[in-house]
Amino acid sequence: MLEQRAVLLPKEKELFDQAICDRLYQLIQERKAKTIHTFLPMGDEINIYPLIERMLSEGLRVVTPEALPKRILRNWILLGLDQLQDGVYGTQFPANSSEYTGAYDLIIVPGLAFDKDQYRIGYGAGYYDAFLKDHPEALKVGIAYPFQIVAEVPREDHDIGLDLLIF
């Protein structure tokens, strides 16, 4: 999946990314979501930065994670994309921010592969399964390029399924 993502033509990637951002925004509006947890894309992941900017400009609470040891995500309120610091595994998270420990309306989940039953394979560290388990109230939405949808991904007892896939 990493190789397939890496060889997407820039224009094709841009079209996919924009369509996914548009669908996510529509979902946020339909659900009247006010607090959204999202990853900050890195490398050739789906570019949702335009969506993040739009959510911030509309006054929605955007929360992004920082990966800590022992599969723990510390979650920070994002105030702007100009105040980020580097984290582990090439990630970034908000600098000079407040930790958020409340509930979420919607959680945008990254992954390498997703199946028709809405299970996912991430990067193997298990951060999101532990986090999603702690937030049953939230709508859990995976985002992917069409080629990332497979018939079935391997599952373990601790894996948490998503509520929706956008691709």
pLDDT digits (tens, 9 = 90+) for 103-141: 999 999 999 999 999 999 988 778 898 899 999 999 999
> How many residues does the structure list for the chain?
167
Contacts 24+ apart (CB under 8 A), 90-95: 90/42, 90/43, 91/39, 91/40, 91/42, 91/65, 91/66, 91/67, 92/40, 92/42, 93/40, 93/64, 93/65, 93/66, 94/64
pLDDT at 147: 96
Q: At residue 70, does pLDDT exceed 90?
A: no
Q: At residue 71, does pLDDT exceed 90?
A: no
pLDDT at 100: 98
Mean model confidence pLDDT for the chain:
95
DSSP state of 41: P
| pLDDT band with cut points at 50, 70 and 90 for residue 5 | very high
Q: At residue 3, does pLDDT exceed 80?
A: yes
**Superfamily for the 2-166 domain:** NagB/RpiA/CoA transferase-like (3.40.50.10420)
CA distance 17 to 47: 6
Where is pLDDT greater, at 122 or 13? 13
- Predicted confidence (pLDDT) per residue in 140-167, tens digit: 999 999 999 999 999 988 889 999 999 9
- Nearest-CA neighbor of 84 among 74, 94, 76? 94
Q: At residue 54, does pLDDT exceed 80?
A: yes
Mean pLDDT of 89-102: 93
Q: At residue 24, does pLDDT exceed 80?
A: yes
- Confidence (pTM): 0.94
Tokens 């809405």 sit at which residue?
Answer: 118
**Inter-CA distances, 39 with 46, 63, 75, 152, Å:** 10, 8, 10, 24
pLDDT at 52: 98
